Structure 1
Amino acid sequence: MLGLAIGDALGKRTEFLDLDEIGQLSPDWRDLPLPKKARVTDDTQMTLALARALRDALAEGPLAPLRLELPLREEFVDWWRSPDNDRAPGMTCLRSCFRLSTGRPWQDASDLGSKGCGANMRVAPLGLVRELTDRQVAGAAQLQSGLTHGHPTALAASELTAFTVRWLARGVDPAELPARLRAHAQQQRTRYDATWLGDLASRDHIGSPEEFIARGWEENLHALDRLDAALAAGDVEADPCERTGAGWVAEEALATALLCFLLLPDDPVAAVRRAAVSSGDSDSLACLAGAFAGARHGADAWPGEWADRIEYRRELVAFGALWD
């Protein structure tokens, strides 16, 4: 939880800058400093919204679709209305949260045309709760995406991102992740879980629910192909966005954040700096890279002076302790 917020705050400073402009802030990407006022973006705000909803849902019993949807809808609408929602939030989230505020079914509020990284930049908390079954993690990851981003690629990328955090927190060797993710995607390729998604696929009007979800898994498998090629090249100095994508969409955010982490699996600070010093969606990329590194190494991975001044620190630490 600290790692994703630290990455978010690092990347907030460099988002929308090109590499030459970032170089004026820090000539060497390895030295990019955390701003003294370490404010985060909507990425961390929406992660905390999901974390609160997940905590409240689990207090009522085993995680189930309606038990998660109701508090999550409320948290997302509260975020949409908040005066603190001034961190360049994504338009998909804003439009979908407005529709959620009208009380309509979440499937009607979802944007089936959007696979933006807002779907999976916030999903990390689901990977931290050990009591959840794999099916609960998969279904809840897709549900939380679907409230705003209903594109099948967003659903699949959210599930893969949650499992990446889950496996790292359980001690899986980072080098095993690409093969694990590929096997998981292949296994899930035509599995549409109507228990969690309801009739979302019917809004698509193209093919069966199985064909709907398969399109998303196929795009994520292509992103994993690019990740494998980038890892084989092993060039930590190159802009990661040139290899696996700029990260504005969900499958690229997963692949590029993973690339930054897997190139530097034992150096969490360098991993988030590499993600932040990039030509793409630097805050979301560094947010996910920080989540992966934090899941692997724990809260002590981060410099104390960074962790002490990160915005929302108290709440981030409390959730980390709750699910540790």
Structure 2
Amino acid sequence: METVKSTEVTLTPEEKRRVRKKSWKESFTAYLVISPWLLGFFGLVIGPMIYSFYLSFTNYNMLTAPVWTGLSNYVKLFTNDPRFIQALKATFTFVVIAVPLKLAFSLFLALIFNAGKKGSGLFTTIYYIPSIIGGSVAIAVVWRQLFGRNGAVNSMLDSLGLSTISFFGEPNAAMSILVLLVVWQFGAPMIIFLAGLRQIPKDLYEAASVDGAGRIKQFFKITIPMLTPIIFFNLIMEMIGGFMTFTQAFLVTGGGPRDATLFYAVYLYEVAFEFLNMGYASAMAWVLLVIIGFFTLIIFKTSSLWVHYDSDGGK
């Protein structure tokens, strides 16, 4: 058997120079095109992050120069700040309750709209609207009026002969209001779930029906396993959003009553812009980053146990 030898093209020094020049021009053009993004990324993201990391080791009130204090801010956070612990507790409680409810409700509606009933496209659009306006200041103000002492909800309860509820006076009621508001903004995960449902082959359901599998069995044996990559994505995004929830708690409950809804972002805002303790707030911001990164890492590490991808490797 004759062996075919590969031939290498030998370039002259002049040709090599031309190739390098052409490659440099192409690279320069590419970097020139993305330069606005690079300037924004390094100037508005990386730069402030590095500076905030430095400030987290200082005492800085924005009126005088930062004073280096070492780890004192971090030590105070975990040993001498009960409101920080309360903010962690309130935020974790909110995330544990709101995120699963939001995902479950989003999937439920996606299943309904995926049935392809008449007008489902219109209703999908209508149901998506809360996700666009739900996080706005206006909606938060309206929500506060609805659940106020003399608001529409208590007026309805009174007209039905039922006892009114002090939504902003009871910790559990105040937390429930915020959970309900966030769950109401289910449009974005619903659309993603709907897209995932429409990618599941119909043949799988037909084969399962032939084998005698009912709708419930098909849901748990076909729909859920095929949707696990979508569930994984929505879980990550909603968890991150839950830890950073600010507008709803700040405007609707103000962190009350008795700091029951003092979410992490609300307390961080108070420390930074009301108490002007920017060094301490920077330390809080970095702790939040570590917390979100930690739980994100856990979800990624455990995803191999429950997320199923359509590939030979099963991942």
Higher Cα radius of gyration: 2
TM-score normalised by the shorter chain: which range applies?
Answer: under 0.3
TM-score normalised by structure 1 residue count: 0.25
TM-score normalised by structure 2 residue count: 0.26
